Chains A and B, each alone.
Chain A
Amino acid sequence: MSADTRAQRRRAGVRLWLPGLWLGLLCLAALAAPWIAPHDPLAQDLMLERLPPAWVGGAEPGYWLGTDSLGRDVLSRIVWGARIALVVALIAASAACLLGSALGLVAGYFGGWPDRVVSRLVDVWMAFPPVLFAILLVAVLGAGLHSVILAIAIIDWTRFARVIRAEAMVQARMDYVHSARIGGAGRIGTLLTEVLPNVLPSVIALLALEMGVAVIVEAILSFVNLSISTDDPTWGSMIAEGRASIHFAWWVLVFPLVALFLTVLSFSQFGEGLKDRFDPVLR
């Protein structure tokens, strides 16, 4: 193995375990939220409003990351918020991935009229500004977690369709696709056994990236109050609330923002790491 691939491998390793650590922690927090959150995320206590984080003077013991303007514990709300963020990330991104990849594969591999139909659909779809489209969809479908998930899947399948179409087109011209036909494989069989394994790394990298995007879109929708009810702890609504008090209680804004940032970064890096790991040439 050359030094070059070894260096690449080490980078892929770091890219996998560092984001993996954060995402694992997040999953744990989401699953065990009722037990590990120190306080009820909805409990308001105006006597305890805007307490600073534990290491700043004037803090109250037990409120590690401080409280917001209604006296709710920031750490507990972040932990419960992870639940919503991850549910949206997993379901919405997977749905968008399935729909978009399937259409992209068919368009890229078969070409001809399936390709024209899918490509025009993608063009039309992408002409809508995505955030406005999401807001419109949620407004029509009614606020709630299921509409947020549906909106993300309906909007973001085009990302998968475009990239996977291009990849499938390249793969469809490779000689091993011809040789599968020579070897007696049918069109669908060739698509599934020859083309799909070669575009799978891209699908997975995109899926991880899309999970990050889904977390952001959910936060945006919460920020403009179109996700789930305002009381429920979502990172977006926390950021929206923190905005009002940024000059005298920065922690209400900063901690959910850091959680959001780390999560989105982890998803995208994890996807890249997985892509490298799946490449047999680098393995």
Chain B
Amino acid sequence: MADLFEVTDLHLSLPDMTAKPLIGAAPRIEILKGLSFTLPEGKVTGIVGESGSGKSTLGRALVRLLEPTGGSIRFAGQDITHLPEPALAPLRRDLQMIFQDPMSSLNPRHTVGRIVAMPMKRFGRGGSRAEVAAALERVGLPAGFAARYPHELSGGQRQRVGIARAIALSPRFILADEIVSGLDVSSQAQVLTLLERLAAEMGLTIAFISHDLSVIRRLCAQVIVLQHGRIVEAGPCERLFDAPRSDYTRALIDAIPLPEIDPGWLGREVVQT
């Protein structure tokens, strides 16, 4: 299958305002130090790394919330690296994003219905009440939620609204930036199941950013491991888990917590043998 994204030697640096001298430009911190990879169409690609590894910055560069300082990003054959906002506007529909914190990514003053409908209307993808209800139903929310405000929803429900907003546009690409890290375990599982189902149904191309390899393993076909703004390892998910080539990947795999149940927790007598 063709590659939807082609990234070559991607560099991104941001000015460090805390170290800005009184006169002159602030020194720049290099966050992405030359990344090259491709994202195949119709697959879920995991991007993992510790906090500070540059994975969120990479994601935001892919959907062009940030402008790279070097290298190139090609989306569906088109170079979008330095595309100005007006030229980017028609592409925005295909570059969707689900945010980490659904509380701050949903405007507290708008109803759920309005939040979902506004992008649909802007891109001419409908946005009527029935279409919003259909979008909400696809993520397992009752149509009546359209009249509610974000603060009236639970964390898992809010994240579903975030997913509904993105998929309602039938985009070619969705960036999911740590979308379950703010949720409790059972909501996490539900949101992941939902995303898994939608990805399969709609043939979505997703970049799934996470620091949790167990989540990645469940969802992704291939994985990119980032450390300090460089790619440490990349490859198909199974190969990476079965035979990690770098120590960093191995350390991340070892960091997956496995359930260890002490029989005493369940109220049973511990039988000494």
Binding site for B on A (CB under 8 A): 174-176, 178-187, 193-194, 197-198, 280-281
CB distance from B96 to the nearest CB of A (A): 6
Contacting residue for A280 out of B89, B123, B151, B165, CB 8 A: B151
CB distance from B171 to the nearest CB of A (A): 10
Check B109–A182 contact: CB distance below 8 A: no
Q: A182-B63, A183-B118, A184-B122 are in contact. Are A176 and B106 (CB under 8 A)?
A: yes
Contacting residue for B99 out of A175, A185, A281, CB 8 A: A175
Check B93–A176 contact: CB distance below 8 A: no
Contacting residue for A184 out of B65, B93, B100, CB 8 A: B93
Minimal Cβ-Cβ distance residue in B for A174: B104
Contacting residue for B107 out of A182, A186, A197, CB 8 A: A197
Which residues of chain B come closer than 8 Å to A198, judged between CB atoms?
Answer: 107-109
Check B89–A184 contact: CB distance below 8 A: yes
**A175-B101, A183-B122 given; 18 more Cβ-contact pairs under 8 Å:** A174-B104, A176-B104, A176-B105, A178-B97, A178-B99, A179-B99, A179-B162, A182-B63, A182-B65, A183-B92, A183-B118, A183-B119, A183-B165, A185-B119, A186-B89, A187-B85, A280-B108, A280-B149
Which residues of chain A come closer than 8 Å to B123, judged between CB atoms?
Answer: 184
A interface secondary structure, majority: helix
Which residues of chain B come closer than 8 Å to A197, judged between CB atoms?
Answer: 107, 109-110
Which residues of chain A come closer than 8 Å to B97, judged between CB atoms?
Answer: 178-179, 182
Could you tell me the distance between the alpha carbons of A187 and B106 in the complex, rounded to whole angstroms? 17
The CB with the most chain B CB atoms within 10 A, among A176, A180, A198, A281, is that of A176
Check A182–B106 contact: CB distance below 8 A: no
Which residues of chain A come closer than 8 Å to B105, judged between CB atoms?
Answer: 174-176, 178-179
Check A182–B122 contact: CB distance below 8 A: no
Minimal Cβ-Cβ distance residue in A for B114: A193
> CB within 8 Å of A: which of B79-108?
85, 89, 92-93, 95-97, 99-101, 104-108
Which residues of chain A come closer than 8 Å to B119, judged between CB atoms?
Answer: 182-185
CB distance from A170 to the nearest CB of B (A): 11
Report how many residues on chain B are interfacial, defined by Cβ distance under 8 Å. 27
Could you tell me the distance between the alpha carbons of A198 and B108 in the complex, rounded to whole angstroms? 8
Which residues of chain B come closer than 8 Å to A184, judged between CB atoms?
Answer: 89, 92-93, 119, 122-123
Which residues of chain A come closer than 8 Å to B109, judged between CB atoms?
Answer: 197-198, 280
Which residues of chain B come closer than 8 Å to A193, judged between CB atoms?
Answer: 118
Could you tell me the distance between the alpha carbons of A174 and B109 in the complex, rounded to whole angstroms? 13
B interface secondary structure, majority: mixed
Could you tell me the distance between the alpha carbons of A176 and B108 in the complex, rounded to whole angstroms? 9
Contacting residue for A178 out of B65, B85, B151, B165, CB 8 A: B65
Check A182–B92 contact: CB distance below 8 A: yes
Check A181–B107 contact: CB distance below 8 A: no
CB distance from A205 to the nearest CB of B (A): 16
Could you tell me the distance between the alpha carbons of A185 and B92 in the complex, rounded to whole angstroms? 9
Check A181–B65 contact: CB distance below 8 A: yes
Could you tell me the distance between the alpha carbons of A180 and B119 in the complex, rounded to whole angstroms? 8
CB distance from A259 to the nearest CB of B (A): 37
Check A185–B122 contact: CB distance below 8 A: yes
CB distance from B148 to the nearest CB of A (A): 10
The CB with the most chain B CB atoms within 10 A, among A175, A185, A186, A281, is that of A175
Which residues of chain A come closer than 8 Å to B93, judged between CB atoms?
Answer: 184
Could you tell me the distance between the alpha carbons of A179 and B89 in the complex, rounded to whole angstroms? 14
The CB with the most chain B CB atoms within 10 A, among A179, A182, A198, is that of A182
- Ordered by A's residue number, 14 sampled pairs between the chains whose C-beta atoms are within 8 Å are A174-B105, A176-B105, A176-B106, A176-B107, A178-B65, A179-B162, A182-B63, A184-B123, A185-B122, A186-B85, A186-B89, A198-B107, A198-B109, A280-B151
Check B96–A182 contact: CB distance below 8 A: yes
Which residues of chain A come closer than 8 Å to B118, judged between CB atoms?
Answer: 180, 183, 185, 193
Could you tell me the distance between the alpha carbons of A58 and B65 in the complex, rounded to whole angstroms? 78
CB distance from B119 to the nearest CB of A (A): 3
Which residues of chain B come closer than 8 Å to A174, judged between CB atoms?
Answer: 104-105
Could you tell me the distance between the alpha carbons of A179 and B177 in the complex, rounded to whole angstroms? 12
The CB with the most chain A CB atoms within 10 A, among B101, B104, B149, is that of B104
Could you tell me the distance between the alpha carbons of A186 and B122 in the complex, rounded to whole angstroms? 10
The CB with the most chain B CB atoms within 10 A, among A179, A193, A281, is that of A179
Minimal Cβ-Cβ distance residue in B for A181: B65
Pairs A-B, 9 closest by C-beta atoms: A183-B119, A175-B105, A184-B122, A197-B109, A176-B107, A175-B104, A184-B92, A182-B97, A179-B105
Which residues of chain B come closer than 8 Å to A181, judged between CB atoms?
Answer: 65, 92
CB distance from B155 to the nearest CB of A (A): 14
Could you tell me the distance between the alpha carbons of A194 and B108 in the complex, rounded to whole angstroms? 9
Minimal Cβ-Cβ distance residue in A for B60: A178
Which residues of chain A come closer than 8 Å to B85, judged between CB atoms?
Answer: 186-187
Which residues of chain A come closer than 8 Å to B89, judged between CB atoms?
Answer: 184, 186
